[in-house]
């Protein structure tokens, strides 16, 4: 039997202990590296999951943090969660349908983005509005804005924002040249200005009747300088509703993009209304419905004449406008050719239709 001295036994024991510690260290190091790789791979996959809402994003962040079991892992998980939130936030703009708060220099896009706020695009924070000024004094405490198709709508006192319009090219009717001349003299920096009135339909009967190229020329001459001074520009509004091609071509030719899209809605049912609104969301801008009316528009333009039908239409369309995040402003139309029942002002006072509109918006404002 081999006799070992006490010193030899002690030396052997120390050697065995060191070897065992080295093996454990290698194993722990291997697991730590593997965990870090797994986390990096996970963080690369997370941005592909499109964040649909803030609730989903909060849940994702909580799940990532809860996987931490040590102080080292918690730090890494927190870092990964931050990167994921940053990535998914930038992706949201490509997937949500809400109209954006556009920047001054962006061209109209084909995909709406989520601005998260209506600040700046809803006058006085109140979507409801009015076209023409006859009923102004009856509605002024319930509306945020109004216009009368002129370059200088004006009523005494404050209250609703008066929005000027560049109506046409100066040749549409007997007063168009005067309107254009007045617009050229427009002073100050109005917060909002709207573009041409139905340039896609023949002049006369309330439409401007302009070629796209003429529209582009006047837009760059008269509207672009206003934008450079801080005015928000509304697009030309179309006569042909969802069947337009004029505005689509116009958007590709202008150098100065509009800031919000103005839309005319002449329908007698909500399916038709939604079809029109859906068409204009493609421009990726906040929407102002600056004219809406109850009209059977196919195959002919026939205004609604039944008071019950008109009341029902108003009581459906106002809540739709108020709840739709793409719509930032809307106005009851008092334009030409809308019959005798729809107009909201008659014989010096609100008509039955006007009272229905006032009651409908009073639920919100």
For residue 187, pLDDT over 70 is answered with: yes
- DSSP strand pairing (327-332 vs 192-194): unpaired
* Residue 60: other Cβ atoms inside 10 A: 17
Same domain, 214 and 155: yes
In this structure, what DSSP letter does residue 109 have? -
| Claim to verify: residue 84 and residue 134 sit in the same structural domain | no
Range of the domain at 69: 60-91
Distance CA 66, CA 340 (A): 66
Q: Is residue 265 part of a domain?
A: yes
* Paired strand residues for 232: 192
Residue 295's pLDDT band, with cuts at 50, 70 and 90, is very high
| % of residues, the chain, pLDDT over 90 | 65
Same domain, 346 and 203: yes
**Claim to verify: residue 140 and residue 186 sit in the same structural domain:** yes
Higher pLDDT pick, 130 / 25: 130
Which residues sit opposite 293 in a β-bridge? 266
Determine, yes or no, domain membership for 294: yes
pLDDT single digits (tens) 62-73: 333 333 333 333
List the one residue out of 198, 215, 212, 211 whose CA is nearest residue 301: 198
Query: What is the tally of structural domains in the chain?
Result: 2
**What pLDDT digit, counting tens, does each position of 167-179 carry?**
999 999 989 999 9
152 close to 164: Cβ distance less than 8 angstroms: yes
Same domain membership, residue 81 and residue 215: no
Q: Please name the residues in contact with 327: beta carbons below 8 A apart, sequence gap of 6 or more.
A: 127, 277, 286, 287, 288, 289, 321
Which residues make beta-bridge pairs with 332?
A: 130, 292
Q: pTM for this structure? A: 0.69
Same domain, 309 and 211: yes
Q: How far is CA 151 from CA 1, 144, 162, 190, 194, in A?
A: 116, 18, 10, 10, 9
User: Does residue 156 sit in the same domain as residue 288?
Assistant: yes
Tell me: the pLDDT tens digits for 210-227? 999 999 999 999 999 999
Domain with 190 in it: what CATH number? 3.20.20.80
Q: Do 258 and 150 have their domain in common?
A: yes
Three-state secondary structure call for residue 315: helix
Verify that 75 and 132 share a domain, yes or no: no
Inter-residue contact 213 to 240 (CB < 8 Å): no
Is residue 136 scored above 60 in pLDDT?
yes
Residue 15 has pLDDT above 70, yes or no: no
Together in a domain, 165 and 230: yes
Which pLDDT band holds residue 204 (cuts at 50, 70, 90)?
confident
231 and 356 part of one domain = yes
Residue 336: the pLDDT is 87
């Amino acid at each position: 039997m081999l006799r070992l001295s006490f010193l030899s036994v002690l030396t052997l024991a120390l050697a065995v202990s060191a070897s065992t510690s080295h093996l454990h260290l290698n194993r722990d190091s291997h697991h730590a590296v593997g965990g870090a790789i797994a986390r990096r791979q996970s963080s690369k996959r997370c941005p592909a999951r499109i964040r649909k809402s803030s609730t989903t994003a909060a849940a994702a962040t909580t799940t990532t943090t809860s996987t931490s079991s040590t102080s080292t892992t918690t730090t890494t998980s927190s870092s990964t969660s931050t990167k994921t939130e940053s990535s998914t936030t930038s992706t949201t703009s490509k997937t949500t349908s809400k109209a954006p708060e556009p920047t001054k220099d962006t061209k109209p896009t084909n995909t709406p983005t989520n601005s998260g706020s209506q600040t700046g695009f809803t006058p006085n924070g109140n979507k409801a509005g009015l076209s023409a000024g006859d009923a102004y004094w009856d509605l002024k405490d319930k509306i945020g804005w109004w216009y009368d198709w002129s370059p200088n709508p004006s009523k005494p006192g404050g209250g609703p924002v008066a929005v000027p319009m560049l109506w046409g090219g100066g040749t549409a009717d007997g007063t168009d040249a005067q309107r254009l001349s007045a617009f050229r003299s427009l002073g100050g920096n109005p917060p909002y200005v709207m573009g041409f009135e139905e340039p896609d339909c023949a002049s006369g009967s309330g439409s401007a009747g302009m070629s796209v190229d003429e529209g582009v020329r006047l837009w760059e001459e008269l509207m672009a300088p206003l934008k450079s001074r801080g005015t928000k520009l509304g697009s030309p509004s179309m006569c042909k509703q969802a069947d337009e091609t004029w505005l689509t071509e116009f958007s590709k030719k202008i150098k100065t993009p509009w800031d919000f899209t103005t839309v005319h809605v002449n329908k007698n049912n909500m399916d038709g209304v939604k079809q029109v609104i859906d068409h204009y969301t493609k421009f990726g801008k906040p929407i102002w419905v600056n004219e809406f009316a109850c009209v059977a528009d196919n195959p002919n333009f026939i205004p609604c004449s039944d008071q019950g039908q008109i009341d029902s239409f108003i009581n459906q369309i106002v809540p739709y406008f108020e709840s739709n995040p793409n719509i930032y402003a809307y106005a009851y139309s008092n334009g030409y050719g809308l019959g005798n029942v729809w107009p909201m002002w008659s014989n010096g006072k609100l008509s039955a239709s006007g009272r229905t509109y006032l009651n409908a918006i009073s639920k919100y404002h």
